[in-house]
């Protein structure tokens, strides 16, 4: 049984910092996850790692098998999900290279599998969608490491895989701080499973509201430059996660009558 799961880019799996124990290819009732799950240790802490888009980046944001990913982690005993990701900035003060530990989201996706409960009605409470305890651990670690970060931020999730138009980008600025394509339904599925969820979002660009076109090369370049920062943050923060949770995340399914 593994308590901590990481869903992120393949760069997180660094042989210099990730001590691999084994790899598995699970099957769930929602199909296979994005790729094989690597179980190993980071800074001595056992984790289960899934590359969100697959090892060949074969799953675009709108077709990631989110339910299979979360179900596969749940089947391994995972209680806490850490999600490194790339986002665009909608505010001047959220600069490329900054880390954002999101505390809210707005869902503007259109056609995804949003719940595990298709055969009965379950209304999950998600007013505060991210685990405050895990967020504090990584925020404190980032402060100590002098990583420029934002302890709060509203993430607006769009369908993708295209980037925003200028009109959309300027509209989104009225409602959110950062923009991405993968948070939903990943975080709400984790809540349905009673998991803690923490998003470690790296700002890669200013979306398009500053009249600077965004392309995938720009995103990948900035993410690559910031990767060592994220891996070091994981090495520092993961050992601080307590053996027993004190938050209310595990109660969400019960409170919803699941």
244 vs 16, residue with greater confidence: 244
How confident is the model over 218-230, as pLDDT tens digits? 777 877 777 889 9
In the chain, domain spans: 4-255
How confident is the model over 239-256, as pLDDT tens digits? 999 999 999 999 988 877
Question: What is the pTM (predicted TM-score) of this model?
Answer: 0.94
Q: How far is CA 29 from CA 2, 32, 59, in A?
A: 20, 8, 19
Lowest-confidence range among 10-19, 165-174, 236-245? 10-19
Q: Which residues does 138 contact at the CB level (< 8 Å), separation at least 6? A: 82, 101, 198, 200, 233, 237
Q: Is 207 tagged catalytic?
A: yes
DSSP 113-171: ---S-SSS------SS-S-HHHHHHHHHHHHHTT--EES--EEEEE--SSPPPHHHHHH
Catalytic residue of the set 128, 140, 205, 255: 205
Catalytic residue of the set 207, 211, 215, 251: 207
Average pLDDT of span 181-194:
97
How confident is the model over 79-126, as pLDDT tens digits? 999 999 999 999 999 999 999 999 999 999 999 999 999 988 889 989
The domain covering 4-255 belongs, at the CATH homologous superfamily level, to Nucleoside phosphorylase domain (3.40.50.1580)
Average pLDDT of span 149-175:
96
Q: Please answer whether residues 81 and 7 qualify as being in contact, where contact means their C-beta atoms are separated by less than 8 angstroms.
A: yes
């Amino acid at each position: 049984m593994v308590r901590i799961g990481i869903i992120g880019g393949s760069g997180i799996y660094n042989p210099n910092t990730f001590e691999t124990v084994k790899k598995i290819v699970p099957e769930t009732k929602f199909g296979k996850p994005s790729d094989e799950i690597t179980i190993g240790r980071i800074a001595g802490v056992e984790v289960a790692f899934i590359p969100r888009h697959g090892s060949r980046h074969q799953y675009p944001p709108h077709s990631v098998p989110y339910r299979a990913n979360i179900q596969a982690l749940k089947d391994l005993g995972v209680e806490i999900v850490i999600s490194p990701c790339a986002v665009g900035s909608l505010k001047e003060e959220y600069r490329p290279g900054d880390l954002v530990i999101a505390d809210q989201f707005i869902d503007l996706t259109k056609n995804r599998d949003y719940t595990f409960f298709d055969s009965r009605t379950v209304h999950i409470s998600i007013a505060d969608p991210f685990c405050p305890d895990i967020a504090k651990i990584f925020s404190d670690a980032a402060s100590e490491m002098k990583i420029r970060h934002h302890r709060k931020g509203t993430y607006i999730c769009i369908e993708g895989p295209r980037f925003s138009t200028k009109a959309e980008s300027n509209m989104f600025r009225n409602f959110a701080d950062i923009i991405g394509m993968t948070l939903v339904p990943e975080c709400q599925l984790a809540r349905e499973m009673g998991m803690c969820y923490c998003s470690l979002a790296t700002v890669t660009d200013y979306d398009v509201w500053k009249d600077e076109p965004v392309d995938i090369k720009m995103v990948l370049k900035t993410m690559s430059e910031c990767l060592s920062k994220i891996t070091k943050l994981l090495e520092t923060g993961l050992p601080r996660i307590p053996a027993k949770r004190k938050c209310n995340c595990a109660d969400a399914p019960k409170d919803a009558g699941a």
